[in-house]
Each structure stands twice: as C-alpha cells, then as structure tokens.
Amino acid sequence: MYRIAVIPGDGTGPEQVREGLKVLAAIAKKFDFAYETVEFDYGGERFLKTGEVLPPDAVDELKTFDAIYLGAIGHPDVKPGILEKGILLTLRFALDQYVNLRPVKLFPGVECPLKGKGPEDIDFVVVRENTEGLYTGSGGFLKKGTPDEVAIQTSINTRKGVERCIRFAFEYCRKRNKAKKVTLCGKTNVLTYAFNLWERVFHEVGQEYPDIERDYAHVDAICMWMVKNPEWFDVIVTDNMFGDIITDLGAMIQGGMGIAAGGNINPEGVSMFEPIGGSAPKYTGKNVINPLAAVMSMAMLLEHLGENAASQAVEEAVKLACANNLKSMAAGRMGYSTSEVGDLIVGYLGG
C-alpha cells in the first residue's frame, strides 16, 4: 500500500493534479497495486487566510509518506518569493531532495521549435543540484536603501552536496544506458572557486565509472548546443541556478511547459514530483491547462516507487495522445479540455 501526499497548490495546480490522480487510479487498477492519498492545502489561499506558509509539523508529517505529488506554487495576490521560498524551497531543503531530475524528451507528434530536430535528437536528462548554490538564501544587505547599498547573494557549494549530486548523475547515466555520457555544465572560466570544486569532484567520481564518457561545457555554451545540437546530450549535471535556467530552455525544446515534468529526489528519503511550469494563474479554473506535465510527473513518481511497468505504460499512453490527438501542447490550444486530456490517457490505458 503506497501512501502519497498530494499538494495541489495554487492556480492551475489543482486542475493538473486532478488529471494526474485520475491516471493514477486507472494505472493502479491495471497493475493491481493499492495506494492512498492524503491532500494538503499548502499554497497561496491558505497563506492569505492563515498567514502561515507551512504548519510547523508539515515536514515531519510529509516524511511519513512514500512520495509527494505537487501541482504548482505561486499566487498572484502573494508577493513573489514568499510561497516559493516558504513552501517549495523549504520542502526541497527540509526533505533534503538533493537532486532535481528533469528529463528533456521530445515525443513523436509534439511540435518542436528547433528546425530539423525530432524525437531521435531530443532525449536527455538534467540532474540539477537542488539544495545548495545560490538558492540557500545566504547573503544580505548593507546600508539598504541608501546610495551606498550593498547586496550580497552567496553561492554555497559543499564537497558533500556536489559529490552526491554528481554521483547520482553517473548512476542515473549507467541505468539509462543510452550514450553513456555525463556532461558537467559549469562556468569554470569565471566561477573559479565553485566550479573548480565541481570539476575536481566530477573527474574524481567519474573515475569510478570507466564505462561513462565525461564531457564538460560552460553554461552559456550549453544553451547554444541545446538549440543547435541537442542530440549530443545524455545526462547533464549542474548546480541549482544553472539547472533552473537550462531546464526552462529544455522544456521549450521538448514542446513547452505543458509537457515538462520533474522530480525532487532524495534517494534515501521522500521525493516530490511536480510539473516544472508554474501555477499559470490566468488559466485557473478554465479547464484549458495541459495536464500532461502532471501526468508525466506521475509517471516519474511511479518509477520512483519501483512501479516501472506502470510508469512505462503511462508514458506510452502520453506518447499516443501526443501522436494521435493533441493539436498543441499549449493551454487552450490542445483541441481538448484539461479533463478530456486526462480521459484520453485513461482511455489509452484501457480504462
């Protein structure tokens, strides 16, 4: 019996999560496993009502689950940063989800903005460090609001944090068994402390994986190659900030935010799966948002639980819907409503 915590969150999050849970119900029946879900109301509405981002026992309670399924965090009436830091980043950090795993995979039938590139060219995974770097909130102001103001934001890179992330990337690459190549994405020519550490650890750990090729590219060049030659990549490993930026680019080349999924992974603890797009508040309640990113996050969640066949079946169903049905991945232009897309997937699963 799997126990799954569900945080629908803000904006279109609940609509997306609803379809993901519909798919979960269908796949559990098909593959004959039992689960229960417990819903948590964390998000903007709760914050506006109670003034609290997360209750004090939230982290301890979430730790008791097998996985967390998240919709989206971000509310138009709440100042940017409060919910993102208070909920999303707090959970990633407190649950020590040290890898943000973001597959960039173009499915057949999905429109790609890159001329001449198809599904055979776009299939890689970004392993983003998820608990350190510029995201730790380390820094501060001096003489705030004066002409002499100083603002400092420090990138934290620990030997332990870098090593466990890089090791995850090599292990994941071995399991993927595709091009057997890990590319370190850094900026060794300018960030000569942080990426010196990354580079040393990369080669040190990489020596334990003689079957895997080691490759390096600066982050700016990675952006160029992701557009020009995405077929070069198998697994990309990088820090938190660079990973944030290049995975939005990755989402675009795989067909847009409507299809891009991710997992915040703690291999020894509880992991949290979410569509990588935001809450898209302008589409809230309109039944037009694309739920496939949430459905693919559910596929990642299933794989994480060890339900590999179920995960694979969900992915195949999404591929069929992309190839045969959806006109576009964009909200309001799919040719189907949000709930109809969920129904399509359930249909392909034989439900």
Point out which residues bind ligand IPM (CB under 6 A): 84, 88-89, 244, 276
- Closer CB to ligand IPM, residue 93 or residue 202? 93
- Assess contact for 318 and 290: CB atoms under 8 A: no
The partner in contact with residue 129, picked from Mn ion, ligand IPM, none with C-beta cut-offs of 5 to 8 angstroms by kind, is none
Q: How far is CA 208 from CA 158, 181, 211, in A?
A: 20, 14, 9
Least Å from the CB of residue 84 to ligand IPM = 4
- Closer CB to Mn ion, residue 244 or residue 343? 244
Residue number with the smallest Cβ distance to ligand IPM: 84
The values of phi and psi at residue 67, to 5°, are -165, 160
The partner in contact with residue 299, picked from ligand IPM, Mn ion, none with C-beta cut-offs of 5 to 8 angstroms by kind, is none
Least Å from the CB of residue 127 to ligand IPM = 14
d(CA 100, CA 187): 20
Least Å from the CB of residue 239 to Mn ion = 13
- Closer CB to ligand IPM, residue 5 or residue 276? 276
Q: Return residues touching Mn ion (CB under 5 A).
A: 244
Strands (E) located in 10-59:
35-39
The partner in contact with residue 239, picked from ligand IPM, Mn ion, none with C-beta cut-offs of 5 to 8 angstroms by kind, is none
Least Å from the CB of residue 270 to ligand IPM = 17
Measure the CA dihedral 328/246/272/334, to 10°: 0
Question: With the C-alpha atoms ordered 63, 165, 305, 318, is the resulting torsion angle positive or negative?
Answer: positive
Helix (H) or strand (E) holding 299: helix 292-305
The partner in contact with residue 88, picked from ligand IPM, Mn ion, none with C-beta cut-offs of 5 to 8 angstroms by kind, is ligand IPM
Least Å from the CB of residue 342 to Mn ion = 25
The partner in contact with residue 349, picked from ligand IPM, Mn ion, none with C-beta cut-offs of 5 to 8 angstroms by kind, is none
Amino acid at 60: D
CA nearest to 277, candidates 244, 311, 235: 244
The partner in contact with residue 84, picked from Mn ion, ligand IPM, none with C-beta cut-offs of 5 to 8 angstroms by kind, is ligand IPM
- Closer CB to ligand IPM, residue 85 or residue 174? 85
Which residue's structure tokens are 């232009």?
Answer: 333
- Closer CB to Mn ion, residue 275 or residue 291? 275
- Assess contact for 238 and 250: CB atoms under 8 A: no
Residue 103 burial by Cβ neighbours in a 10 Å radius (0-12, 13-18, 19+): buried
Least Å from the CB of residue 58 to ligand IPM = 17
